[in-house]
Each structure stands twice: as structure tokens, then as C-alpha cells.
A and B are shown apart, each in its own frame.
Chain A
Amino acid sequence: MNCAGRQLGKADGQHRRLVLVGGTIHDPANGRDGVVADLWVEDGRIIDRPDDPAGFARIDATGRVVMPGGVDLHSHVAGPKVNAGRRIAPQLARGGPAAVPTIHATGALYAALGYTTVFDAAIATAAADIAHLELADLPILDKGIYLLAADDADMLAALDRDAASDVRRLVAAAIGAGRGWAVKVANPGGTAFWKRGRRGDHRDLDTPLPGLKLTGRTLLERLARGVQAVGLPHPLHVHTANLGLPGNWRTLLETMRTLDGIPAHLAHVQFHSYAGGDLDETTFGSGVAPLVEHFNAHDGLTLDVGQVLFGDTVAMTGDSAAAEHLAHATGAPWMSHDLHLEGGCGVLPISYREKSLIHAWQWAIGLEWFLTVDDPWRLVLSTDHPNGAHFLAYPLLMKLLGDEAFRREALARVHPLVRKRSPLAGISRQYSLQELCIVTRAAPARIAGLAAKGHLGPGADADITVYRRDPDLARMFSMPAQVYKSGSLVAEDGELRATPAGRLLAAAVGG
């Protein structure tokens, strides 16, 4: 792939007005499921068919699949922890796309994949400034950040006092100063425990934080209400406690119950859906069934999966305790950096292997979530890049969801205990193209609160991906024929055609 990028003039295929002619449109938000139609674009926006079509460049999309540009609701692409990820595993930057690409390559590779919007899901408020400086170097995509505002000392104190107006004020101030899109909580209260070396105390949501009456549960509830009251486009983004630990499905279930009736988004649920006990690896397993049962019955919640796919990658998280636990378990080089009173980050390389019992369970658990949630509009495809896998593996994940035979072949290769015990073998569901479009575009845009993205109706941003139809879904989704960002052709058959800057998505607060 050539991602050097160049700015093209009209003669090279850039047009202020264009029409994609005869494409098969998948636009779930507007009820179009494989409808052959023309798509009109003017000044970066989708428009209705104009009265006078003269002057619109005609681009033949006959026989091709047309979807909105992809929206990655939960990724890690900028800020100090991502930079740490680049430094801790230079060996994963050889012989192909790096596990943690440079910021320019991140934009270029996402765009060539058909994605046009990305959010970094964990930026400490103190690191927002430098994250924005880095994101300014991320080309093409529109981008935003979620701020880890719950680790701030003032915020914890306000939550402890249950001072709703102070919580609202602090949420708005953090979003305003940090130019954030949403608020994320990573391991509610966990940083307070971890910084005091009391990890063992923090096994549930009901232990008071050191020196406070506040618990993880009350923190979640009060903060979610505060975010709701401020009116941010995206509800509280929740990475709950006990990530990666056996038996943590109960924590996720309690998190769901705590947030009953309050809008919230559950991040990378795969990492929070494990059955089993601490002392016996063979008891490790899936806790997905009761979680999905609860989730399907409570429509105020949405989630992204955080799928694990096999291979080498780098784990990075604002949940320092989780990173420390993983480092202890794997013996991998571990990089940890505490921010003053405001959380921290943990980073380490990791290799997911098919024959590892734990890794195979993680892979199967993620797929189980995808295949048992009833409503795809409440679910987002993610790998928690780069934690579960690189975003370049999304086409492979889409094939696993959309091709049952392929999934069965993959299941046959994993650890035998998982083959035997996972309910995956008994699930025949296959995602349609429309459902794949929902979980990669329409749903994440709607859940993120992006009114002009994830659909192809009049007024939408002209972020469009044109695919060649191919029975091999991984091949189809890995190399779009054309990708348009705000109406500009940015990638064609894997070649970058232009590198516009992309916009910062920052929520408006306080008028």
C-alpha cells in the first residue's frame, strides 16, 4: 500500500460535486438494505438529488457495495500511553504495519480500510493537551477523545459528597478544557486503590475507596448521572473493575444493574465476561450468557466488544492495576506511568495464541457476545485496538461474524477445552452485510452521538466507503475500491489519494 499521500486537484478525481451512480446502498439508519440508488454529494455533504444534476461528476459504482465510512468508537491512537506502546515493542514494527503505528500511518491505514472517524477512548485530563497535539498529526479521519475525568481528585471528592451540581460543573470543565467528546471511567476507583498498593481490597464495587465513603458502585451511578445532566453526546463510557480477572462477569453484571435506567456505554465487554476462579486455569470460561440476558432486557445500555484475535500486539490501558496484573501473570516487560493524582497508564506487549486456553476463551467469548446480542444497534465492533488486536484485523473479524463455515474452521483450531465447552459451536447465526454495516458504522455513530455520521441521508457528512462485492468478506472489507472523506477521494484500492487534515470532534459544553 502506498500511503505517502498527495493532494489531488479536480483533474485527479477530486470534485466539489459528485454522484456515485448505481451502487448498492447499505444505509441502515435510513432503512436502505442493499438498495440500488445514486448518491449525491456537494461540498462534503450528502444531498438529495438536485434539480439540476449538471456539473456533478459521475462516478460509476454499479455492482459495488456502498456504505457510510466506518466509525471506530473505541480505539487507542494517541497520547502518552500510545507513545509508550510504540517504544515498548519496536520488534512489532518490522515486516508490516506496526502493532502501534505512527500517528500518520494510523490515519492512513484506517482510511484505506474504509474508516473515517476514530475516538481515542482513554486520555487522562492532564494529558489532553499533548494528545491533541498528536492528533493534529493524524490525517484524514475526524477524531475525538474520551477523558478519564473520574480520576481527578476534585471529581472524586465531589462524587464522594454526592454533590451533583459540582459533578456536573467538573464534567463540563474537564470536557471544555480538554476538548473531549465524552467521559470515560477506567476501573472506577481502582486507581485510588492501586496507588496505595491495596489491590487486594478492590474485588467488588462496594468497597469504599481509601479515605472516602465513595464506592465503585456509587461512583458509577453518580458520574453517569452527571454526564447525562451535562448533555454530552455520548453517555458515560464505562470500563468497569476487575478487567481480565477470572470470575469478573459478576462485576460486569453488577455494573449493568448499577446503571439500570441511566444511559451508559460498556467498553470492551469481552475482557469483563470471564467465569472461573483464581487458582485453577481450567475453571476459566465464559460468563456471557447471564450478561447477554440482562443486556438484551435493558435497552439503556450499549456496548463494544473488544474482540481478541490471535497474534502479537500491545496492551495499553488507563487501568494501571489491570496492566500490572497482566505483567505479573505474563512476565512481559511492563511500562507504567502514574499521572499526578489522575490515574496513569500501563503498557506491555502481548501475544494471543490459538492453543492457549485463556486466549482461546477470550476469542470465543468475544464472538459469543457478537452472536447472542439481539439488537445490533446496541453493539459496536471493536478490538479495543491495539489491546485485543490491530484495527487492521477488523475484516477478519467481520468474516468470522458473517461466515459461519469460516468461523467453524477457526474454532476447530483453538484449544480443545474451548472447542468443547464454548457455546460457540452451537451458534449458527451469520451477520448480513446490513448487520455488519450497523455494527461498524451506523450503531457506533448513533451511540457516539454523531448525527451527521454513520448514515447516507441528506445532510450527512459525505464519508463513504465503496466495496467490491466478494464472497470472501475479509478480502472485501480489507480493501475498499474507494473511500471518500467529506466528499474527497482519500483512498482507492489501498492507495492513498489525499491526506486532508480531518476535524477534531469536541463536545460543546456550557453554551
Chain B
Amino acid sequence: MSRDAPAAGTAGTRCICTACPLLCDDISLSPAGADRACDLGRAAFAACADADLTRTQSPVGNAAVTQAAALLVAARRVLVTGLRDATLEATLAACDLAEELAAAVDVGDPELATATGPTTARVGRVTAEWDELRDRADLVVFWNCDPRATHPRFVERFVLPPLADGRRRHTIAVGAAAVLPPGPHDLHVPLPADLSVEAARCLQLVLDGGRLADVVPPPLVAAATTIATAIRSASCVAFVTAAGGAVGLEGWSIARVVGGIAHSLPAFELPLGGYPGAAAVCTWRYGAAGGIDRADPMGGRFLPGEASATRLIERGEVDAVLAAGGLGHDVAAALAAVGPRLPVVRIAASPAAPTAHERSIVLRCADPLLTAGRMLRGDGRCVSIVPPRSSPLPSLRDLLVLVHRAVSAARLAAVGGRP
């Protein structure tokens, strides 16, 4: 792209916003901006346009790819991580490379960082696609979750539209913030986050017909009673939970509550986590969504907690990292804390500062907004991304394939073959 090319797509180009896991597919991109996009989306489109102009000055060279491959081949134990906003095709390419390197793989899924194992395996989880909430749920419970920050248009697209019969659905926001202004249809039940587990257990007890002990604090009794009353008069209930709250004891407690309700009326939980694509690919490749000790297509050893990216980095159990695409905050922090001691190959549209040290190799790829491929929406639905225009930079997938080829050549050369 030349410097004087338009910063955005052609007038009214319909496109998909990849700035958050909602993958909004109703965005109209024009020189005036991204119509219908939220603040997050508009910022992403603007940043993408600005960055493209500067990136053309530093295209990815073969030397950098070869250098990255040499770094990975020289390591004894590589960690492949990131892939938060990667296409499924890019994730597959990363897995191919991980298998060549016999690397550990962890995409930084918070649930897999828990040593006790995923909630799904312990108590199951009753979930649904977001459209099911929009079409069926007449009661939505935001459980310690405010989608406005992480999934800005979730409420607009799935909660505010009326039900099929024209009714306005009821909502209850349990937690510090009111998601919708309190009113006849929207309740706010203030509850400190550290009482979330207790509140969930109280709610389960009330729903099961039990009596709360006298020692239970009155706010918990009131919260449990209010929510239980609303659930009993609903015909379909959706619990919206946050990524951070979907793990550990809180996630366990809510999954139990929803599973219990679902035995008597339609109910499901919508955990608003990140992009689930990398977790899906890792699961069919290695049998688990992350915490993979060694990328083995016959089934990696699944070590939740033990083999999470942050722990491997913190304990010094890896001597090189391939960080491709979006990084989780915890992984980025762990890399920043280790600093130049750990060589990093960073492939991303906007490489994060913590990995840009003298022992890191940075390969810049196209912005996810300008990358064709398939991604999974936060609820698991497969969405084809057709970018509004092409990028002058290679895609994340293409760069991973290039690095893989260079790694294969370097390994072949190392055993006396000709690359």
C-alpha cells in the first residue's frame, strides 16, 4: 500500500470487526470511519490504518525469518503461546511448527492455569450460542460480569432486542456495577466480588428448596432470594459470566447452579471469555485446550497449571518462546518479568513492548482486521473473515509457515542434509 492510499476501505465496505470476540459482522467501513463499530472497534480500525502506513517501511525480510528459525532450532525446549486473536488457519500453522519443534503449547487460557483442572471436567457446563440468549432468554443474569468493557456491543446485539413476542426481557446484574440502568426490567444486586462463590452457593440452596442458615449475612440472603424469585418466574434463563470468573471455585459454583436449573427449565451459561479458536484447535490436535507439555498429535500430556505458559516461563523451564498473535496479559507480564534472559520470537501486528528486547526477534504481520481466514466467535460459532482490503504485510499464518520452512531447512542442514 502506498502512503497516499486511503486509510480505510472503499465506501461502505461491509466487514467483520475482530477487535473483540464478538466478531461483529454488521460493520460498514468507509473513509468516514467504521459505522456501527463500538469505541474498541473504531480504535482498532483507526490504528490498523495508521500502522499500515509505517509498517511498509520495514517489510519482513528473509534474514529475519532465518534468524527466528535459528533461534528456535537452537533451543532445547520451546514454548508456543499467544494465538489469542489468530485465525484457525494461523493456529494450525503454529501447531504444525510446534510439532516440528516438539514444543510445549499453551495459549494462556486462564482455566488451564488452574492446577485442579478445568471446570468442564469437574462439573460440566451448560452453554449456548449468544443468539439463543437473544431469541429465548426472558431473564438474563450478569454474574459479576460487565460486558461493556470486554464485549462492548454484547448488550446492544443480544440483550436489548425484544423477545419474539415483543416483550422486553428482564435482567439482573449481580456485582459491583449495574450493566443497565436499574428500572422495572433491570435490577442491580450489589455484591462484592469476593462474595461471589458464597452467593452462588446460597442461590443453589434456595433454588433447591433449602433454608439459609441464620449466620448467612443478610445481603447474601437478599441477593439469593431475589435472584431465585426471578428465576422461578422465568421461562428461560441465561447467566452471563466473565472470563476471569469462569475459572476456579467461582466458575465451578456457577456451572453447578446453571446445570441444576437446566434440569427443570431451559437455562445456560454464556462465559464471555476470549477467542476460543486456539483452544479448539489445540483440543483436536492434542486432546486439551492448552497446558500441553509436548506437541504430539497422538495426544500430548495434559498438565493444567503445571504446563501453563506463565508457569513454564516463570520457572525457567523453557529456553525460547514463540509468541504469535495476541498474548494474554499474564503471559505478557511473565515475559516482561523474565526480560532478555529468555529469547523470544514475536510475530504480531503490534508487538508488545515487553518482548522487544535485544534477544527477541520481531516479525510483523498483518493486522487481524486485514487477515482472511476463519475465526471462532466467543461462543464458538465459526465466522469467515473477509478483510475489507489486503495488507502489505504477510498474514500471521503465512509468517508461521515461512518460519516452519526455515526451521525444517535448518534442522536438515544440521544433520548434514541440504536445505
A86-B288, A130-B382, A137-B284 in contact; A338/B236 too (CB < 8 A)?
A: no
CB pair B126 A340 closer than 8 Å: no
CB pair A105 B120 closer than 8 Å: no
Binary contact track A80-117/B, C-beta < 8 Å → 1, others 0: 10111011111101000010111111001000000000
Which of B117, B127, B265 meets A337, CB within 8 Å?
Answer: B127
A102 to B381, CA, bound (A): 21
A308 to B235, CA, bound (A): 37
A197-B235, A197-B266, A338-B129 in contact; A348/B285 too (CB < 8 A)?
A: no
CB pair A86 B124 closer than 8 Å: no
Chain B binding surface SS class: mixed
Binary contact track B356-384/A, C-beta < 8 Å → 1, others 0: 00000000000000000010100011101
A133 within 8 A of B: yes
Which of B124, B129, B286, B298 meets A333, CB within 8 Å?
Answer: B124
5 extra A-B contacts, CB within 8 A, seeds A4-B298, A130-B374:
A86-B283, A129-B384, A197-B264, A336-B126, A340-B130
A339 to B381, CA, bound (A): 8
Which residues does chain B contribute within 8 Å of A344, judged by CB atoms?
128
Which residues does chain A contribute within 8 Å of B128, judged by CB atoms?
337-340, 344
Give chain B nearest CB distance to A79 CB in angstroms. 9
Give chain A nearest CB distance to B180 CB in angstroms. 23
Which chain A residue lies CB-closest to B118?
A: A87
A25 within 8 A of B: no
A194 to B122, CA, bound (A): 24
B311 within 8 A of A: no
Which residues in chain B, 188-238, are within 8 Å of chain A measured between CB atoms? 235-236
Which chain B residue lies CB-closest to A336?
A: B126
Cβ contacts A to B, 22 pairs, < 8 Å: A83-B280, A87-B288, A89-B121, A90-B121, A90-B288, A90-B302, A93-B302, A102-B299, A105-B297, A108-B298, A129-B384, A137-B285, A195-B266, A324-B262, A333-B120, A334-B126, A335-B124, A336-B126, A336-B127, A337-B127, A338-B132, A341-B131
A105 to B300, CA, bound (A): 11
* Contact surface of A with B, Cβ cutoff 8 Å: 3-4, 78, 80, 82-84, 86-91, 93, 98, 100-105, 108, 126-127, 129-130, 133-134, 137, 195-197, 324, 327-328, 332-341, 344, 348
Which of B125, B126, B287, B381 meets A86, CB within 8 Å?
Answer: B287
Give chain B nearest CB distance to A95 CB in angstroms. 11
CB pair A98 B129 closer than 8 Å: no
CB pair B120 A104 closer than 8 Å: no
Give chain A nearest CB distance to B117 CB in angstroms. 7
Which residues in chain B, 253-309, are within 8 Å of chain A measured between CB atoms? 259, 262-266, 268, 280, 283-289, 297-299, 302
B136 within 8 A of A: yes
Which chain B residue lies CB-closest to A130?
A: B382
A333 to B280, CA, bound (A): 20
A105-B298, A105-B299, A197-B236 in contact; A93/B287 too (CB < 8 A)?
A: yes
Highest count of chain B CB atoms <10 Å: which of A88, A332, A334, A348? A334
A157 to B297, CA, bound (A): 43
Give chain B nearest CB distance to A198 CB in angstroms. 9
A201 to B126, CA, bound (A): 22
Which residues does chain B contribute within 8 Å of A334, judged by CB atoms?
124, 126, 259
Give chain B nearest CB distance to A497 CB in angstroms. 15
A88 to B88, CA, bound (A): 22
Which chain A residue lies CB-closest to B376?
A: A130
List 5 A-B pairs, minimum CB-CB distance, nearest first: A333-B124, A104-B297, A340-B131, A338-B128, A334-B124
CB pair A98 B287 closer than 8 Å: yes
A101 to B285, CA, bound (A): 9
* Contact surface of B with A, Cβ cutoff 8 Å: 88, 92, 117-118, 120-132, 135-136, 235-236, 259, 262-266, 268, 280, 283-289, 297-299, 302, 374, 376, 380-382, 384
A103 to B382, CA, bound (A): 19
Which residues does chain A contribute within 8 Å of B117, judged by CB atoms?
90
Which chain B residue lies CB-closest to A126?
A: B381
CB pair A3 B121 closer than 8 Å: no
CB pair B136 A195 closer than 8 Å: yes
Which residues does chain A contribute within 8 Å of B283, judged by CB atoms?
83, 86-87
Highest count of chain B CB atoms <10 Å: which of A98, A102, A133? A102
Give chain A nearest CB distance to B40 CB in angstroms. 24
Which chain B residue lies CB-closest to A135?
A: B284
Which residues does chain B contribute within 8 Å of A98, judged by CB atoms?
287, 299
Which chain A residue lies CB-closest to B297?
A: A104
Which residues does chain A contribute within 8 Å of B265, judged by CB atoms?
197
Which of B120, B135, B298, B299 meets A87, CB within 8 Å?
Answer: B120
Highest count of chain A CB atoms <10 Å: which of B123, B235, B381? B381
CB pair B124 A327 closer than 8 Å: yes
Give chain A nearest CB distance to B99 CB in angstroms. 9
